[in-house]
Amino acid sequence: MQYTTKKIRKMFLDFFKENNHKIIESSSLIPQKNSNLLFTNAGMNQFQNIFLGKEKYQFQKVATVQKCLRTGGKHNDLEQVGYSQYHHTFFEMLGNFSFGDYFKKEAILYAWKLLTDRNWFNLPKEKILVTVYQDDNESYNIWKNLIGLSVENIILIGNTPNNPYVSDNFWQMGETGPCGPCTEIFFKKSNDIFKISHLKDKKKYIEIWNIVFIQFNRINQNKIIPLPIFSVDTGMGLERIASILQNVNSNYEIDIFKELKKSILKINNLKKIKHTKSLNVISDHIRASVFIIQENILPDNEHRGYVLRRIIRRALRHGEKLGIKNPFFYKIVPDVIKCIKIFGEKIRFQQNNIKNILKKEELQFTKTLQTGLKLLKSEIKKIKNHQLDGKTVFYLYDTIGFPIDLTQDICKEYQINININELKNEINKKKRQSKQNKNKIKNLPNVIQNTYTSTFKGYNHNKITCIVKQIFVNQQAVNKILPEEKGIIILDRSPFYGESGGQIGDSGIIYNSKSLFHVQNTQNYATTIIHIGQIKIGSLEINDLVTAHIDEKKRKLIQNNHSATHLLQHALNKILKKNIIQKGSYISEKYLRFDFSYNQEISIKEIFCIEKLINKNIQKNINICDDHLNFEEAKNQGYIFFQNKTYNSIVRTLKIGNISKELCKGTHAHNTGNIGLFKIIYEKSISRGIRRIEAVTGKKALKHIYNQYKKNININKILKSNHESIIPKIKKLIINYKNLEQSNKQLNKNIIAIQTKELINKIIQIKKINFLNSEIKIKDRKLLKNMIDQLKNKIHTGIIILFYKKISKNIFMVGVTNNLTNIIQSNKIIEIIKKYANGSGGGKAEIAECITENINNLDQLINYIKKWIELKI
């Protein structure tokens, strides 16, 4: 029987259908909300909440063919691809599941029957070996007594020493979540007498099916709690079982990979290749790339986009190893799509889009790859102790953009280690540097560190009474700040917002009946709010009772801009149809700036749609509410947060109706209506994959529109045009200008030709060498040079000095024909001129120039030069 991959998939599903399982579609590669996974890594992910008893499912027995990606977290096979014959980033997992229905006995019986029954996979029973978790007597007995497996073929696997529940036979999805003991089925590939180490040697034994008995929920590293229902989660890699049923020695030799690899060779016109590993890598990575992009993920510098970028870059580097010179990766997309029909037609419609995204990434990276590889290879050649220094790795990454993991990958091939400590040092150094650059209050006195904790009262108050707790003047802690002195005041509590989360600090006043301190800026320093400013009236002392009052007008404008920033992120997500990740922001009373990851141009129409949606939400006058929640709770409720930021256990949440939910410490408008009007004033890419939008709100937006209008009116006036005809008019002017430029060029050519002819007549001889010196009428450097070149061509051997007058200056240019420069040099003559007339300039032996003061006695200068020439010849 011919077991094609297609057939195996079908047989698996048919088997479980016959056994009353409901066939469920694969879930997306992007795990459901609130999951702690980056990508779906097992068939059971989509049922996570059902295993945990949080949700009830309409079916109790199901089977799936699940798209999986193992490129991070607990299950990461990326680095294995290319080295292992049985690992993939993307693969299909065949699985059957029971949610509180059947348990160990049935699960093992099903697996045994499907694998060994003559009507199904018909594998020889004597080739099967299983592992069982050490405490799981029940499974052991089922294998031994019910299935009749000899005890030599049932291996008990315990915990890793001192690590409860850390074992190859205690499966867990991630750091937390459903888990339980498992029994794994292996296929023997060799007849050697069994040793435990053989289980890790894929030439001898291949693990084909993992049957997990989900009984626990892992809460953290040390704690697991029993679940209300006992379930079954099984997983069998389609590609692996296919390798056994097709009797080949690698997943990469099965039908689908054979086809794919053939296409890669054909596309690149390759017949024989040295590196079959590279071909395997490319065929694995193109499948992963296609499936990730299909989930609307684009190459990026972080999160899922970064995984995609790593995969693509790794593949491109292997393309380079195969000697492929031109972009090729994107061309394989149709061949991948051909063999993955099972996952629906949707992907077929995305074919061109996927190709374009890959092509763009490929073109962008090729140059970096070439430069980086050249440098890395030359460094590798110099290595003596099998270790590459961290500085080079960091330089490659930081300056050239060559990814660290790619360097690692290449070093692995050359059996070279990277000096990781040195690399970490370099990375930390850079981090510290950029932190310092960011830290606007770096000049604050060190004494402020770890000092007073002030309470922020500014969410609900603009003005409160408080007590002066600390004062700093000239980098020193003092008891009193005197009249006119500049310094820092720290209060027990404050309505002033210290700059953070992109929102600038407040300004305002701190005062009592005798004194007034102007706060110019407010910053946060650890848990202290720092008011920076100057005493304008009287003086202030520690323990003085004061009133702190923020500039309310400014704060309102900042708040409106902050809320508008949240509306902007929402609108970007909606209009650009991408999960926009914030990369930075700046929110002041004047404008707002928002940086975000996005790989494409944003069209004028999209800008308009974004503005329209935001203004619509402003008009709806939606309530803006804040709250304080437990971080986990906030995450569960779908609040947006920064992946790389650490949060306190209690966080502030900010909700704008049902359109925006973010963790945010900033101050906000009460209703979206307060924003009034929103207008984008700037949109551009600021670095690869990151774009910046700047916008204004309220009166500033209106003013911006007015200014644009005024500008348009003025342009119309200047060009004697109107709104409708202005564009054609400008286009016409540009054409006219170009025509004029063209004819001007022609005229100049003619003038040069005429003048050159005239000048030829002025040539004299100095010891039989042509010498020309003349003032000319063209007052243009470029033309002057052009003329000297033409004259040189005409006279073959000689020296030319031309100049023109410009206000009270003279501009000289000197040319010497090539055949004379060994004795006479233009720059030497220029030096004489410079000395004579206080000039500046220089050049080469063939041509040089200078600008000088006005020269009254030009003949004298020329005579000097002539004499100098005579002496030289």
> Could you tell me if 90 and 67 are in contact, meaning their C-beta atoms sit under 8 angstroms apart?
yes
Report d(CA 640, CA 827) in Å as an integer: 66
| Smallest separation, CB 343 to ligand SER (Å) | 19
What number of chain residues touch ligand SER (CB under 6 A)?
10
Fill in the per-residue mask, 271 to 310: x = in contact with ligand SER (CB under 6 A), - = not in contact: ----------------------------------------
Measured from the CB atom, is 98 or 817 closer to ligand SER?
A: 98
Where residue 609 falls (left for φ over 0; alpha for ψ -120 to 50; beta otherwise) is alpha
> Quick count: other Cβ atoms within 10 Å of Cβ 33?
9
Q: Which residues ranging from 77 to 96 are in contact with ligand SER (CB under 6 A)?
A: 95
The interface region with ligand SER, picked from 38-46, 456-464, 678-686, 716-724 by CB under 6 A, is 38-46
Measured from the CB atom, is 185 or 769 closer to ligand SER?
A: 185
Measured from the CB atom, is 234 or 585 closer to ligand SER?
A: 234
Task: Examine residue 110 and tell whether it contacts ligand SER (CB under 6 A).
Answer: no
Answer for which of 234, 263, 523, 560 binds ligand SER (CB under 6 A) is 234
| Smallest separation, CB 75 to ligand SER (Å) | 7
| Smallest separation, CB 138 to ligand SER (Å) | 18
Print burial letters for 396-409: b (CB count within 10 Å at least 16), e (below 16): bbeebebbbebbbb
Measured from the CB atom, is 238 or 464 closer to ligand SER?
A: 238
Task: Examine residue 235 and tell whether it contacts ligand SER (CB under 6 A).
Answer: yes
| Smallest separation, CB 201 to ligand SER (Å) | 19
Listed in order, strand segments (DSSP E) in 538-623 are 540-541, 545-550, 582-587, 592-597
| Smallest separation, CB 439 to ligand SER (Å) | 45
Measured from the CB atom, is 184 or 409 closer to ligand SER?
A: 184
Task: Examine residue 199 and tell whether it contacts ligand SER (CB under 6 A).
Answer: no
> Could you tell me if 521 and 533 are in contact, meaning their C-beta atoms sit under 8 angstroms apart?
yes
Enumerate residues 6+ apart whose C-beta is below 8 A from 482.
473, 535, 539
| Smallest separation, CB 171 to ligand SER (Å) | 5
| Smallest separation, CB 528 to ligand SER (Å) | 49
Fill in the per-residue mask, 472 to 511: x = in contact with ligand SER (CB under 6 A), - = not in contact: ----------------------------------------
DSSP labels, 178-241? EEEEEEEEEEE---SPP-GGGGG-TTTEEEEEEEEEEEEEEEETTEEEEEEEEEEEEEEEHHHH
Answer for which of 90, 171, 456, 598 binds ligand SER (CB under 6 A) is 171
Report d(CA 146, CA 141) in Å as an integer: 7
| Smallest separation, CB 366 to ligand SER (Å) | 36
Measured from the CB atom, is 37 or 568 closer to ligand SER?
A: 37
Answer for which of 136, 207, 233, 361 binds ligand SER (CB under 6 A) is 233
Q: Which residues ranging from 827 to 856 are in contact with ligand SER (CB under 6 A)?
A: none
Measured from the CB atom, is 212 or 624 closer to ligand SER?
A: 212
Q: Which residues ranging from 348 to 367 are in contact with ligand SER (CB under 6 A)?
A: none
| Smallest separation, CB 210 to ligand SER (Å) | 4
Print burial letters for 711-750: b (CB count within 10 Å at least 16), e (below 16): eeeeeeeeeebeeeeeeebeeeeeeeeeeeeeeeeeebee
Measured from the CB atom, is 171 or 291 closer to ligand SER?
A: 171
Measured from the CB atom, is 41 or 451 closer to ligand SER?
A: 41
> Could you tell me if 277 and 409 are in contact, meaning their C-beta atoms sit under 8 angstroms apart?
no
Return phi, psi of residue 48, to 5°.
-50, -50
Measured from the CB atom, is 48 or 755 closer to ligand SER?
A: 48
Q: Give the Å distances, CA to CA, from 187 to 127, 145, 564.
A: 6, 20, 60
Report d(CA 3, CA 254) in Å as an integer: 10
Tokens 């007073």, located at residue: 452
Report d(CA 291, CA 354) in Å as an integer: 9
Fill in the per-residue mask, 728 to 767: x = in contact with ligand SER (CB under 6 A), - = not in contact: ----------------------------------------
Task: Please write down the HEC assignment for all residues of 784-845.
Answer: HHHHHHHHHHHHCCEEEEEEEEECCEEEEEEEECHHHCCCCCHHHHHHHHHHHHCCEEEECC
Task: Examine residue 390 and tell whether it contacts ligand SER (CB under 6 A).
Answer: no
| Smallest separation, CB 97 to ligand SER (Å) | 8
Measured from the CB atom, is 244 or 316 closer to ligand SER?
A: 244
Report d(CA 653, CA 424) in Å as an integer: 35
> Could you tell me if 295 and 357 are in contact, meaning their C-beta atoms sit under 8 angstroms apart?
no
- Alpha carbon 334 to its chain's center: 27
Answer for which of 46, 210, 563, 585 binds ligand SER (CB under 6 A) is 210
Measured from the CB atom, is 5 or 234 closer to ligand SER?
A: 234
Closest CA to 211 of 117, 93, 126: 93
Measured from the CB atom, is 44 or 869 closer to ligand SER?
A: 44
Answer for which of 8, 24, 42, 208 binds ligand SER (CB under 6 A) is 42
Q: Give the Å distances, CA to CA, from 518 to 388, 481, 488.
A: 56, 12, 10
> Could you tell me if 24 and 62 are in contact, meaning their C-beta atoms sit under 8 angstroms apart?
yes
The interface region with ligand SER, picked from 36-44, 502-510, 601-609, 666-674 by CB under 6 A, is 36-44
Report d(CA 211, CA 95) in Å as an integer: 9
- Give the H/E segment covering residue 132: strand 128-133
The interface region with ligand SER, picked from 37-45, 748-756, 849-857, 864-872 by CB under 6 A, is 37-45
Closest CA to 321 of 293, 288, 358, 282: 282
Task: Examine residue 16 and tell whether it contacts ligand SER (CB under 6 A).
Answer: no
Task: Examine residue 44 and tell whether it contacts ligand SER (CB under 6 A).
Answer: yes
Report d(CA 721, CA 831) in Å as an integer: 54
> Could you tell me if 444 and 467 are in contact, meaning their C-beta atoms sit under 8 angstroms apart?
no
Measured from the CB atom, is 180 or 495 closer to ligand SER?
A: 180
- The two tokens of residue 660 are 């925006």
| Smallest separation, CB 197 to ligand SER (Å) | 21
DSSP labels, 627-643? EEEEHHHHHHTT-B--T
| Smallest separation, CB 113 to ligand SER (Å) | 18
Measured from the CB atom, is 170 or 598 closer to ligand SER?
A: 170
Query: Of all residues in this chain, which one has the CB nearest to ligand SER in the complex?
Result: 235
Please, which residues bridge with residue 470 across strands? 490
Three-class secondary structure of residue 869 per DSSP? helix
| Smallest separation, CB 472 to ligand SER (Å) | 58
- Alpha carbon 135 to its chain's center: 46
Task: Examine residue 666 and tell whether it contacts ligand SER (CB under 6 A).
Answer: no
The interface region with ligand SER, picked from 148-156, 228-236, 254-262, 317-325 by CB under 6 A, is 228-236
Measured from the CB atom, is 209 or 497 closer to ligand SER?
A: 209
| Smallest separation, CB 64 to ligand SER (Å) | 10
Measured from the CB atom, is 97 or 804 closer to ligand SER?
A: 97
Please, which residues bridge with residue 174 across strands? none
Listed in order, strand segments (DSSP E) in 457-603 are 463-473, 476-478, 480-481, 486-491, 493-494, 508-511, 516-525, 528-537, 540-541, 545-550, 582-587, 592-597
> Could you tell me if 629 and 651 are in contact, meaning their C-beta atoms sit under 8 angstroms apart?
yes
Residues that bind ligand SER (CB under 6 A): 42-44, 95, 171, 210, 212, 233-235
